[in-house]
Amino acid sequence: MSKTGVVYVCQQCGWKSLKWAGRCGGCGEWDSTVEEIIAPSGSGSSSVAFRRELPQPITSVQLTECPCIETGMREFDRILGGGLIHGSAVLIGGTPGIGKSTLLLQVCQYISQKGYTTLYVTGEESVAQTKLRAERLSILSDNLLVVSETNLDFILENIHNTRPTLVVIDSIQMIYKPQLDSAPGTVAQVRQCANDLISIAKSTGSAIFLVGHVTKQGIIAGPKVLEHMADTVLYFEGEKFQCYRILRVVKNRFGSTDEIGIFEMRKNGLQPVDNPSEIFISQGRRISAGSTIISCMEGTRALLVEIQALVARANFGMPERKVSGVDYNRVSMILAILEKRIELKLGGQDVFVNIVGGVQVDEPAADLGIAMTIASSLKEKAIPPDTVFVGEVGLGGEVRSVSQMEIRLKEAHRLGFKRAVIPKDNAKGISKDVGIELVEVCYLSEAIEIMG
């Protein structure tokens, strides 16, 4: 029988060392190794019973009908892939106070109102504190069970006894397994507790939500394997002083990974935003230079967002380039194209580019709108407010086609836009009933001529 020993484990990547090291040998992080006790082999028993399965041909696998359970929030159902999947494990992270616990408590309420049993395990607050938050959100249901517990053995016992349809663990960093001598939140505890909870979800059919703390870099604390074990990984985004929250999917085994859900924080909880394009376009905006509307795709949804640019003469040597909401390197490339192909003098100008509403646009289809916004600000010529721009710009100044053009145009028409500037190659497969005038361009210079 092996003896009890000590190992030093990096809390960022899980690298192990028999001696303390100031710098991790795996990820290079400083002061991240924590002492953990290695229990003798054979000591302690696993809390989860595993059932042995034998290999079988994939053609003989029997599929069971497991329909999705709608959560009552359309935005949340869409990013999950249609609703709550039986036996699925969802990991949700975000900064403190952004609304993770509020959203999951609301989901528990909707599920329990349909007659399903839900179990909310809180490790950060008491049952009374959870009840106060539930009363503020008007959440009252006998099928919603609440327990304040951090011991994994007791949590697994509660799941076995109640057999809930949905289990919420808030948060996984607070849960500990008594058989491990390390402190809660360490790599060993987070990895083992998550593994046992996901295993019981698969065996009992209960869907489980794991709330994860985030580091100062914005990633979920703990080992990266935590995200690999979960079926779906969600990140809450949003500014502290804004009421809108964006729930972004970074991994989903049951649906698209490009979807986002947009919610508004109100006094009665998080409410889905039915028309998200309106919040990214300034209401009653004036016809001014340096403002353009683009149509971008987030998963299966088209969003219209407003791009603003300010070009001003640099007063202190090196010109400044400040970007918010789009890729900095992409904007630098577009500036070079405007100087080389369009002969705009931007070398001595400060350039500031911003996406209204705090949304992040990463797709190349925004290139044409960015270029038009910068040119509009430099020339002090306004772009018609009823015009939307879509297209990727190549290094030769050509405007390249983008995907899902018809969906983008229908969204623009629905919001009252009369004209769309698009790549010529995209105009071939568009039906005649989009209801919007199409301006086809092959090169960036043709698009800039629209300003006159």
Residue 319, annotated as binding a ligand? no
DSSP state of 89: E
Structure tokens at 282: 């300034």
Residue 429, annotated as binding a ligand? no
381 exposed, middle or buried (CB, 10 Å; 0-12, 13-18, 19+)?
middle
Residue 101, annotated as binding a ligand? yes
Structure tokens at 77: 């159902």
Instruction: Give the Å distances, CA to CA, from 451 to 313, 352, 387, 445, 446.
Output: 21, 20, 11, 11, 10
Residue 220, annotated as binding a ligand? no
242-263: burial string, b at 16+ Cβ within 10 Å, e else = eebbbbbbeebeebeebbbbbb
Structure tokens at 167: 């289990």
- CA-nearest of 151, 83, 165 to 119 is 165
Residue 112, annotated as binding a ligand? no
Residue 224, annotated as binding a ligand? no
Residue 98, annotated as binding a ligand? yes
Residue 397, annotated as binding a ligand? no
- CA-nearest of 240, 412, 239, 392 to 324 is 239
What DSSP line would sit under 342-389, residue for residue?
S----TTEEEEEEETTS----SGGGHHHHHHHHHHHHHT-PPPTTEEE
Residue 145: its H or E element:
strand 144-148
Residue 189: its H or E element:
helix 187-204
- Main-chain phi, psi angles of 166, to 5 degrees: -135, 135
- CA-nearest of 159, 193, 170 to 104 is 170
- CA-nearest of 223, 216, 197, 239 to 99 is 239
- Which residues participate in the annotated binding site? 94-101
- Which residues participate in the annotated binding site for ATP? 94-101
